[in-house]
Amino acid sequence: MEHLQRDIKRCRRVAVYGTLKRGYRNHDWLEGATLLGQDRLSTITLYDLGHCPGAKREASNGAAIEVYAINPEQLALLDQLEDYIAHAPHTGVYDRAIFPTQYGDAWCYLYNADVEGDACIESGEW
């Protein structure tokens, strides 16, 4: 748990690839965050879960992301939305990990469930 607290202090950015992006239904959860810009992560692959995409830590041609500067309170709200459980990260709907972006390291939520049968989003755009 101590390393998680260090990571929260060190990483004040989040990389989003789905419903948190501008123009999508959950973007309001980022109210007060500052958009730093767009990037692509070639270390995640997006899968179409129907109502939203899910990312897996897998090599890809690049998943389109938006990177935001956030504060710890905003991260806690996003953890609620994504059903991230800090004391048991592999048991929630999403886990999160830090990935390098052109704007610095950023948290990105990774889908915990199996994606067998879900379509891979080859373009990286959802």
Strands (E), the chain: 13-16, 34-41, 45-48, 53-56, 63-69, 94-101, 104-111, 119-120
Residue 50 Cα to chain centre, angstroms: 17
- What span, in angstroms and rounded, lies between the C-alpha atoms of 9 and 29? 20
**Tokens representing residue 112 in the block:** 């915990």
User: Is 66 annotated as catalytic?
Assistant: no
Instruction: State the catalytic residue, choosing from 73, 82, 116, 122.
Output: 82
DSSP reduced 3-state for 106: strand
Strand partners, 68: 14, 35
Q: What residues act catalytically?
A: 82
